[in-house]
Amino acid sequence: MLLRILLFDFDETIINENSDDAVVRALPGQQLPDWLRNSYREGHYNEHMQKVLVFMAEQGVSEDAIHSALEKIPPTPGLPTLFQYLQRFQQDFELAVVSDANTYFIETWLERAGVRHLFTKIFTNPASFDATGRLVLLPFHSHSCTCCPDNMCKQVILREYLAGRQKERGGAPFQRVFYIGDGANDVCPSLALGPRDTAFPRRDFPMHRLLLEMSQAARLKANIVPWVSGEDIMRCVPNFRLLLGTYFY
């Protein structure tokens, strides 16, 4: 029976940059005009990216060009090694992606990397090409969390997924939950983790700084292990090693 579940963010966690920035380089000028870049509203990034994809289509950026840009994105250091380890012990782990990117970007990259089969679920914003060749992006869901972007609360996703899987498993919960991320929107799901679980914030990224503040204020129950490479994560996952206390290296 699977006892451990690992949930991964995508941008700047599995891959070493933001996939939205990578596809923008498929534009003829390789960057957005100021009027579009400055149209972003805090908490409405999904809405902003919808406008970006419309603009890219108007500029003649094809599906092939977007696909090619995605395939060129490098993995974060050590993540291929971590995935090799997890594949070797696939019977012991369940993997899922929880990301504010979109289905097309994530599926394309994971397939190219040869690791799509490792992930049981991908929670992200729906995206597909329409008949005109435009990539259409939709919000993942609506929610009432005031801390998260309007289109996605990762804590809601985490809680619902774990509850659903526990029901499917005949009431047996996962003994350990590992959440791996980098951004500010990875903090909210970390607050749902228990004392036997571990949050892995990428060192010196927003998630790391914010969790440090919360840990000092005793708002966080989970163990915290900052990481630089996939090997850092791998060293903490085997043998159900329960970390004693909360550490920042």
Torsion sign across C-alpha atoms 235, 8, 240, 197 = positive
Question: Which pLDDT score is estimated for 117?
Answer: 97
pLDDT digit string, tens, across residues 11-57:
999 999 999 999 999 999 999 999 999 888 887 888 899 999 999 99
Question: Which pLDDT score is estimated for 247?
Answer: 35
Torsion sign across C-alpha atoms 162, 163, 168, 173 = positive
Question: Which pLDDT score is estimated for 216?
Answer: 63
Q: Give the H/E segment covering residue 22.
A: helix 19-24
- Same structural domain for residues 111 and 227? yes
Q: Give the H/E segment covering residue 73.
A: none
More confident of the two residues 92 and 199 = 199
- Same structural domain for residues 34 and 149? no
- Same structural domain for residues 48 and 156? no
* 100 marked among binding-site residues: yes
> What SS3 class is residue 222?
coil
Structural tokens at position 68:
């090619």
Question: Which residues are marked as active site?
Answer: 9, 11
Across the chain, mean pLDDT equals: 90
The answer to whether the beta carbons of residues 156 and 145 sit under 8 Å apart is yes
- Same structural domain for residues 58 and 84? no
Does residue 249 lie in a domain region? no
Q: What are phi and psi of 196, to 5 degrees?
A: -90, -5
Q: What are phi and psi of 179, to 5 degrees?
A: -115, 125
* 204 marked among binding-site residues: no
Q: Which contacts qualify for 124-128: CB closer than 8 Å, 24 or more apart?
A: 124/10, 124/97, 124/98, 124/99, 124/100, 125/46, 125/100, 125/101, 125/151, 125/152, 126/102, 127/102, 127/103, 128/103, 128/104
How far apart are alpha carbons 173 and 228 in whole angstroms?
Answer: 29
- Same structural domain for residues 59 and 162? no
Question: Which pLDDT score is estimated for 243?
Answer: 32
Q: Give the H/E segment covering residue 224.
A: strand 223-224
Domain termination residue (choose one: 71, 87, 104): 71
Does residue 247 lie in a domain region? no
- Same structural domain for residues 175 and 100? yes
* 232 marked among binding-site residues: no
In total, how many domains does the chain have? 2
How far apart are alpha carbons 224 and 92 in whole angstroms?
Answer: 22
Domain termination residue (choose one: 71, 89, 112): 71
Determine what percent of the chain is predicted with pLDDT higher than 70. Answer: 93
Domain termination residue (choose one: 50, 71, 92): 71
* 186 marked among binding-site residues: no
Q: Range of 31's domain?
A: 19-71
Q: What is the CATH number of the domain that holds 165?
A: 3.40.50.1000
Residue 239 pLDDT exceeds 70: no
Pairing of strands 198-201, 93-102: unpaired
Does residue 83 lie in a domain region? yes
